[in-house]
Structure 1
C-alpha cells in the first residue's frame, strides 16, 4: 500500500512539474510572441528603429528563443545591417540547433548577397529539418526567395504547400500575394490579401497591400477604399497615409495629397527622408511658400540635384520670385545633362526672363524650346505677342503662322496677325487677314478701320480711293451708335480726314470742307482739319501784276 501510495505521489508530482513547465513555456511563448508582434507593427508604421529596440531587448530577455533572433535578423536585413543580421541568425541557431528558422534567415542573407547557390543549401536544409511541414519555416524560405523576382513561381509553389498545411495563417496569404505580384498577377495577389484580411479582421497590412495593387493599376477608387480600411483598423498606420498621398498626387489632388502626406510625415521616424516628395505635393497644391522652404533646405544640402533645382525654380516662378527663379533655373540648366533638359524647362526659363523684362533672352529660350518640340501652340502665341510688343513684326508674323499649324485661329489671333502684317508693311496680306476677320466679326468697327488702313497703304496717294468704301462703312456703323466712346471718336476722326482729303483730290471742295468740319466737331484743336479748312476757304491768289482794285 505504501509503495502504491508513493508511486501515486511521484506520478502526481511529475504531472505537476510537467504542467508547470507547460504553463511556463506557454507564458514564454506568449511573451515573446507579443514582442515580435509589436515589432512587426512598428515596422508597418515606419518605426523600424523602435522595432529594433524592442527586438534587441527581447533577444536579451529571451536568449533561448530562435523566433526572436530570426525576427531580429530579418529586421536588420531590412535596415541593411547585414553583419548584425548574421550574428542574430547564428545566435538563434546556437539557442536551438534543431530550429530551422535562423538557417532560413541565413539563406535570406545569402540571396541578398547574390549567392543563390549558398542560399539554396540553407533553404533546403531548413525545409529538410522540418520535413516541409513547418509553416513558419516555409514562410521564412519564401521571404528569402522573393529577393529574386525570377524565383517567384518557385515561391508561389512553396507558399501554396504552406497554405495546404494551414489555410488559416494570414501571413502565408500576405506572402502569397507578394509572390503573385512578382508574377504581375494582380488579381491573384488581391485575392490572397483579401483572404488574409478575412482571416484576421485587425490586419491593416492586408488592406494596405490591396490598396497598393489597385494604385499600381490606377484603380483609384478601389485603392482609396482599401487604404481607408487600413486606417480605420489602425489610425496610425503610417504607410497607408504615405500611399494615400501618392494616390492623390496621381489624381492631381494636391491639397488632399498634402494632407495625407503630412500625416505620414508626423508618424514616420525619419521625416527628413520624405521632405522632397512633400515639396512636390506642396507644389501641386499651389502652396509655393512651403514648397520653397523645403526646396531651399534641400538645395542647401545638395546643390547638384538637378531635379530639385528644376522644381525649385518652378515654385519660385509661381510664387512670383522671378529673380530667385532665374538664378535657380540657370543653375539647373548648367548642371543638368543636356540630353535630359526638356522643352518645358526652357519654357519656364523664358517666362521668368519675360517677367524680368529680358525679352530678347526669353525669345532665345523659347526658340530652343520649339526647336526641341515644335507643337507648342501656347509658346508660339507667347512668342508672337512678345515679338509684336518689341516691334519685331516679321518674327511675330512667323510665330503666328506656326501657331496656326496647331490651333485654329481665333478672332483675336487674326486681329493680332493682321496688325503685325500691317506694321511689317505687308499690306496685301494684312488686307487679306482683315477681310477674313471681317467675315467672322462683321460688327466689329475696329476691323473696318484696320481693313481701311490696309487698303489706304496700298494706295499711298489716295488717288484710287481704295480705302474709301471701308471708311464709309466705318462711319456708317459708328455714326449710328447710340453712344460713342473715345475710341469711336478717334476712328471717326481718322475716317473723316481720309474722306476729306480724297474729296479734295477729286475737286469736291464742298464735300471735303464738310468732312473736315466734322473732324473739328469731334476735336476742335485738330491741326490737320484746321489747316485744310483754311486752305479750302482762302481766297484764290491774285494774278501777277494785279492791283487788286
Structure 2
C-alpha cells in the first residue's frame, strides 16, 4: 500500500506539474506577455503552443502578431498562413495577412484580407480589434480607417474593453483627444484593472503637454500592476517631451527619463528588440554617446539585427565619428529590406557626405530624401545651398522657394537668398555667351521681386538692401540705356531717401547711393533729355563714389569743364 500510495502521490504530483506547465503556457499568459511587451517570452510560449496545439488558429495569429510588432514581416506572413492552414476560416489570421499587406504597401491585398476577416468574424469582436490595430501600425497610421472598423466592432460587442483601448488609440492618432479619453474610460468602466487604458490616457495628456496629469496616469497604471513595463516606457518618453518643451527642467527630466526606461527594460525580457527600442529612445533623448555604445554592442551580437547599423550611423554622425557613421549607414542601406528604409536614413547619409565635402553625392541623396518624404522641408535649404555654390541659380531659387513654404524654420534671410538666386539666374541668362543665346526668362525677375517684397512687408522699417536689389532687378529689364524706360526709378529714389536719412552712411552705402544717382542721371539724359538734371545726378554720383564708372564715363563724354567737375 505504501508503494502504491507513493505511486499515487507521484502521479498526482506529476499531474499538478503538468497542469502548472500547461497553465504557464496558456494563450492568456502569452497575450499578457504581449501586452507587457515581453515579446521574447511571448514568442517562446506561442511557439510551444503552435507545436502542442497545432489545430488552434489563435496560437498562430498571436505569434504572427508578435512578429509584426517586431517588424519581422516575412515571419509574420508565414505564421498567419500556417494559422489558415490550421483553420481556413480563421478571421484573425486573415486580419493578420491584411496587416502584412499594409506593411508591404499593398492596399488592395490588405482590403481583400480585411474584408474576408470581417465576413468570418460573426459575433467575435477580436478580428475587428486587430483589423483596426493593423491600420495603426507603421510610421503613417490611418486613424480614420481604424476608427471606422473599430466602431463596427463595438456594435458587435460593446463589452470588450480591449476594443475600446484600440478605439482610443485610433482617435489619439488623429489628435482627437476628447474622443480618445472617452474610449479609454469606457474600457476602464468594463475592466478597472486594465493598466493599458491608464497608460494610453497618460499618452493623451502628454500630447496636450499636460505633464503632471500624464505622470499621474502612469503612476495609476503601476498601482494596478507594478510590473507593467509599458507604463515606465511611456513615462520615460513623456519626460523627454517635457524636457524639450520646458528647457529649465531639461537636464533633470532627461536623466529621469533614462532611469524610467531602464526600469522598463528590467521588466521586459531585455531582448534585442527591446534594446533596439531603447536605442530609439536614446536617439530621441539626444543621448548620442550612450546610443553609439548600445548600437555598437548590438551590432557585434551574433546574427545582429540590421537596425543596429541605422542607430550606429545616426549616433556616429552626431558624435562627429563620420567614418563609423558612413560605414554603418551604408551597411544598413545595402543590406536592409528596402521596405524598412526610411527617408531619415538618407537624410543622415547626405549629412555625412556633406561633411566629406562630396557635394555631388550629398545633393543626389538629399533630393532622393525629399522625393520619398516631401514634408522634410528643412532639407530644401541644404539642396539650395549646394546648387547656389554650383552657380545653378534657377535650381537654387526653386529649392529656397520650397524651403520657405515647407519649413517652419525659414527666416527673412532665406527669402533674401531665394530672391538673390532668381536675380542672379536672370543675370546669367542675360549675359550668356552660349550659342544659340538663351532668351532670358523674365519670370525669374518676378519671382525675385516677390521674395524681396515679402521681406519688406514683414519689416517695420525700410531695408536698403532689399530696396537696392529690387532696383537692380528692375534695371535688368531695361534693354538699352538709349531707350531707358524707368522701371527701376522709384526704387532708386527710395534708396536715396533711405540712405541720405542715415546719420553716418557706410562706404557701402555711399557706393549704392552713387549707383542710384547714376541711374537717375541716365534716366534724365536719355529719357527726359534734361542735360542739367543729368549733370546734377551724375555729379552727386561722383561725389558719393569718385570711382563710379557710369559717372566717370558721363563726364568723359562731356569733356572740358564737366570732366574736371566744374
CA shift at 1:292, angstroms?
A: 1.6
TM-score when normalising by structure 1: 0.56
| Distance of aligned partners of 1:516 and 1:268 in 2 relative to their CA distance in 1, 3 Å threshold | same
C-alpha deviations, 1:403-446, integer Å up to 9, x for none?
Answer: 57757997555433332222221563244335544376262322
From 473, 480, 484, the equivalent of 1:461 is 480
Kept in 1, the 8 Å contact 2:292–2:312? The answer is yes
| Distance of aligned partners of 1:366 and 1:269 in 2 relative to their CA distance in 1, 3 Å threshold | closer
Match of 2:480, SS? coil
Q: How is 1:115-194 mapped onto 2 (pairs within 5 angstroms)?
A: 115-116=52-53
Match of 1:459, SS? coil
C-alpha deviations, 1:267-307, integer Å up to 9, x for none?
Answer: 99969985444433322221212222222222233685332
1:372 corresponds to: 372
2:517 corresponds to: 496
From 504, 520, 538, the equivalent of 2:560 is 538
CA shift at 1:538, angstroms?
A: 3.3
| Distance of aligned partners of 1:181 and 1:320 in 2 relative to their CA distance in 1, 3 Å threshold | farther
Match of 2:199, SS? helix
Following the alignment from structure 1 to structure 2, what is the Cα–Cα distance between the partners of residues 312 and 250?
A: 24
Following the alignment from structure 1 to structure 2, what is the Cα–Cα distance between the partners of residues 327 and 283?
A: 19
Following the alignment from structure 1 to structure 2, what is the Cα–Cα distance between the partners of residues 103 and 301?
A: 36
Tell me whether 1:444 sits opposite 2:445 in the alignment. Answer: no
Tell me whether 1:421 sits opposite 2:429 in the alignment. Answer: no
Following the alignment from structure 2 to structure 1, what is the Cα–Cα distance between the partners of residues 454 and 22?
A: 80
Q: Pick which of 315-324 and 401-410 moved more.
A: 401-410
Following the alignment from structure 2 to structure 1, what is the Cα–Cα distance between the partners of residues 322 and 351?
A: 9
| Distance of aligned partners of 1:94 and 1:362 in 2 relative to their CA distance in 1, 3 Å threshold | farther
Kept in 1, the 8 Å contact 2:353–2:361? The answer is yes
1:248 corresponds to: 236
1:215 corresponds to: 199
Q: Pick which of 312-321 and 409-418 moved more.
A: 409-418
| Distance of aligned partners of 1:526 and 1:491 in 2 relative to their CA distance in 1, 3 Å threshold | closer
1:324 corresponds to: 324
2:12 corresponds to: 97
Tell me whether 1:224 sits opposite 2:218 in the alignment. Answer: yes
Kept in 1, the 8 Å contact 2:394–2:421? The answer is yes
RMSD over aligned CA atoms reads 4.5
Give the aligned length: 376
Kept in 1, the 8 Å contact 2:378–2:407? The answer is no
1:57 corresponds to: none
Kept in 2, the 8 Å contact 1:245–1:258? The answer is no
Following the alignment from structure 1 to structure 2, what is the Cα–Cα distance between the partners of residues 92 and 342?
A: 63
1:433 corresponds to: 447
Following the alignment from structure 1 to structure 2, what is the Cα–Cα distance between the partners of residues 493 and 452?
A: 13
Following the alignment from structure 1 to structure 2, what is the Cα–Cα distance between the partners of residues 429 and 193?
A: 66
| Distance of aligned partners of 1:362 and 1:524 in 2 relative to their CA distance in 1, 3 Å threshold | same
Following the alignment from structure 1 to structure 2, what is the Cα–Cα distance between the partners of residues 473 and 460?
A: 22
Tell me whether 1:473 sits opposite 2:494 in the alignment. Answer: yes
Following the alignment from structure 1 to structure 2, what is the Cα–Cα distance between the partners of residues 521 and 93?
A: 120
CA shift at 1:364, angstroms?
A: 0.9
Following the alignment from structure 2 to structure 1, what is the Cα–Cα distance between the partners of residues 272 and 339?
A: 31
C-alpha deviations, 1:148-171, integer Å up to 9, x for none?
Answer: x99xx99xxxxxxxxxxxxxxxxx
Following the alignment from structure 1 to structure 2, what is the Cα–Cα distance between the partners of residues 244 and 258?
A: 10
Q: How is 1:375-394 mapped onto 2 (pairs within 5 angstroms)?
A: 375-394=375-394
Kept in 2, the 8 Å contact 1:381–1:400? The answer is yes
Q: Pick which of 392-401 and 180-189 moved more.
A: 180-189
| Structure 1 gap segments, 5+ residues each | 1-90, 120-148, 155-178, 195-208, 232-236, 542-549
CA shift at 1:449, angstroms?
A: 1.6
Match of 1:97, SS? helix
C-alpha deviations, 1:314-355, integer Å up to 9, x for none?
Answer: 223333444433332222211222222222322232233234
CA shift at 1:258, angstroms?
A: 0.7
| Structure 2 gap segments, 5+ residues each | 1-5, 27-47, 57-91, 94-122, 125-158, 166-183, 205-213, 244-253, 427-439
Following the alignment from structure 1 to structure 2, what is the Cα–Cα distance between the partners of residues 93 and 318?
A: 67
Following the alignment from structure 2 to structure 1, what is the Cα–Cα distance between the partners of residues 548 and 220?
A: 78
Work out which of the two has the higher radius of gyration on C-alpha atoms and give 1 or 2.
1
Q: Pick which of 330-339 and 528-537 moved more.
A: 528-537
TM-score when normalising by structure 2: 0.54
Following the alignment from structure 2 to structure 1, what is the Cα–Cα distance between the partners of residues 495 and 390?
A: 29
Following the alignment from structure 2 to structure 1, what is the Cα–Cα distance between the partners of residues 456 and 7?
A: 87
